[in-house]
Amino acid sequence: MFKLVKLPLRPATAAVRNKGTSASSFNRAMSARKCSPKSADRLSTLDPSGTVFAEFTGLAIEHNAVNLGQGFPTLPVPEFITNAAIEACKDINPLHQYTRSEGHVRLVKAVSAFYSDKIGRTLDPLTEIITTVGATEALYSAIQAFVNPGDQVILMQPFYDSYPAAITLAGGVPVMVSLTPSKPALSSADWRFDINEIRRAIVPGKTKMIMINNPHNPIGKVFERSELAQIAAVAEEFDLLVIADEVYETLVYDDSSTPLIKFGSLPGMAERTITVGSVGKMFGVTGWKIGWCLSTPEIIRSIWMVHQYVPFSVVTPLQEATAVALEKAMTNDYFERNVAEYQSLRNKLHGMLSSVGLTPTMPQGGYFILADTTSVPDDAAADPTERRRDFRVCRYLTKEAGVAPIPVSAFYAPEAQTGEVPAQLARFAFCKNADMLDRAGEKLASYGEKEH
């Protein structure tokens, strides 16, 4: 039989009762004690103002500007994709519960079927693929799995802005090498890296990884086989892992000087490459937040060890819907029609920017265009509180032209943000429906008439 034991009152409570103080007075006294939470030191590596996208989306709303900054598509999603989601959500029970942590079985099988020919080997769907909460979680979990405090990771700037954040949150150190444009850079192919700069950046025993984005955001560059082979040789020589962020892989245009070469398909690279993909980019459904990593069983196992404690698993009905959509897309002409539509939108925006003197670089892939803003007078975009010219110009274009781009220095390390290259550039997204681009064109035309 259990014996009840009367425990003594805690001192603070006893004092209240002994002095006859009312409970409400005691509660007020306790609530007056301030909580002073101190953030973890690792947050000091992040920008407290948030991402550049939050600022310019807010600015676009405030000034009723057409938002060509953030890369969310506004094109209609094909019915075979939305219907797949509807049918998955109608499921009575299993698809509304947790699925396999490494990835819904039907989806990893579809991913294996899609990639095996492209990557040059048959991928085991159960051991060489893991699904993630978008490509961003794929990057984060892969970096957490392999980067120790003090390890160095080589990035090519400009870079997708979550790269350095993911590295520093793991205690790693981002090391920058530059993609540099020729003048004039009329094509994204005109941006090049210096392999000797990459070699100089490597510290044996410290450098752990190199990250490649192909097609590249924000430039739109598709790397040539010879360029990738140079990187592969360095990775093999110094025993580096490679994260190949290839989320725009299905958006390479027919006038590109090179097709997309998947890094993991290069000789000797399968064993050291983590390939990252994105459903949001593939099907124009960025809100679904489904991505994946492809690699060896040993590498995937390490990524899963992080993943199981972050989201554990990815939304089951949307994984099922993605599997169905991918199965159908491999047998219909979706990918061909989709890239043709994006190429038409790319050409439309390119012409609009050219017509108002914002000289654009023609991208080989992805859905962004860089434009040279040298024609915007510095005094027109004057802001004594902002040292970065491209931020001043992009704010000016949002407020005065009614079209919101993204300043390219946001994709550079802080010490490089006032450099000559990012100072002159703005990034415009063309993953928008034709009506939205037409409205942007009208606003740009009005701006051009006013300025000239």
Q: What does the pLDDT read at residue 27?
A: 62
Other C-beta atoms closer than 10 Å to the C-beta of 40 total 7
Q: How is the chain split into domains, by residue range?
A: 44-72+334-451, 79-329
Other C-beta atoms closer than 10 Å to the C-beta of 58 total 12
Return mean pLDDT, the chain: 93
3-state SS, residue 192 = strand
d(CA 56, CA 353): 19
Q: pLDDT tens-digit profile of 45-98?
A: 888 777 899 999 999 999 999 999 999 999 999 999 999 999 999 988 899 999
Q: How far is residue 219 from each of residues 138, 186, 328, measured CA to CA in Å? A: 22, 11, 31
What is the distance between the alpha carbons of residues 167 and 264, in angstroms, rounded to a whole number? 22
The answer for residues whose C-beta is within 8 angstroms of residue 77's C-beta and 6 or more apart is 283, 284, 285
- Here the tokens at position 448 are 């051009």
Q: Note the CATH architecture for domain 44-72+334-451.
A: Alpha-Beta Complex (3.90)
Residue by residue, pLDDT tens for the chain (452 residues) are 444 445 454 544 444 444 455 666 656 655 667 888 899 999 988 887 778 999 999 999 999 999 999 999 999 999 999 999 999 999 888 999 999 999 999 999 999 999 999 999 999 999 999 999 999 999 999 999 999 999 999 999 999 999 999 999 999 999 999 999 998 899 999 999 999 999 999 999 999 999 999 999 999 999 999 999 999 999 999 999 999 999 999 999 999 999 999 999 999 999 999 999 999 999 999 999 999 999 999 999 999 999 999 999 999 999 999 999 999 999 999 999 999 999 999 999 999 999 999 999 999 999 999 999 999 987 766 777 888 999 999 999 999 999 999 999 999 999 999 999 999 999 999 999 999 999 999 999 998 887 76
Q: Which residues contact 427 (CB under 8 A, 6 or more apart)?
A: 69, 218, 368, 369, 370, 371, 405, 406, 407, 408, 411
Predicted model pTM:
0.91
What secondary structure letter does DSSP report for 398?
Answer: I
Determine the CATH number of domain 79-329.
Answer: 3.40.640.10
Three state DSSP letters for 293-354 = EECCHHHHHHHHHHHCCCCCCCCHHHHHHHHHHHHHHCCCCHHHHHHHHHHHHHHHHHHHHH
Whether the Cβ atoms of residue 430 and residue 342 lie closer than 8 Å to each other: yes
Neighbouring-strand partners of residue 369: 428
Q: Check residue 93 and give its pLDDT.
A: 85
Q: Is 250 in contact with 217 (CB distance < 8 Å)?
A: no
378: how many CB neighbours lie within 10 A of its CB?
12
Q: Which structure tokens are listed for 206?
A: 């410290």
Closest of 394, 388, 442, 404 to residue 57, by C-alpha: 404
Give the model's pLDDT for residue 403.
Answer: 98
pLDDT of residue 32: 60
Q: Which of 356, 359, 355, 339 is nearest to 430 (CA)?
A: 339
Cα separation of 246 and 168, whole Å?
A: 22
Pairing of strands 66-67, 406-407: unpaired
- Which H/E stretch holds residue 374? none
Please report the DSSP string for 124-147 in residue order.
-TTTSEEEESHHHHHHHHHHHHHP
User: In this structure, how many other beta carbons lie within 10 angstroms of the beta carbon of residue 430?
Assistant: 26
Q: Cβ neighbours of residue 233 under 8 Å, at least 6 residues apart?
A: none
Q: Which of 141, 103, 29, 168 is nearest to 326 (CA)?
A: 103
Q: Which residues contact 114 (CB under 8 A, 6 or more apart)?
A: 326, 330
Residue 1: the pLDDT is 42
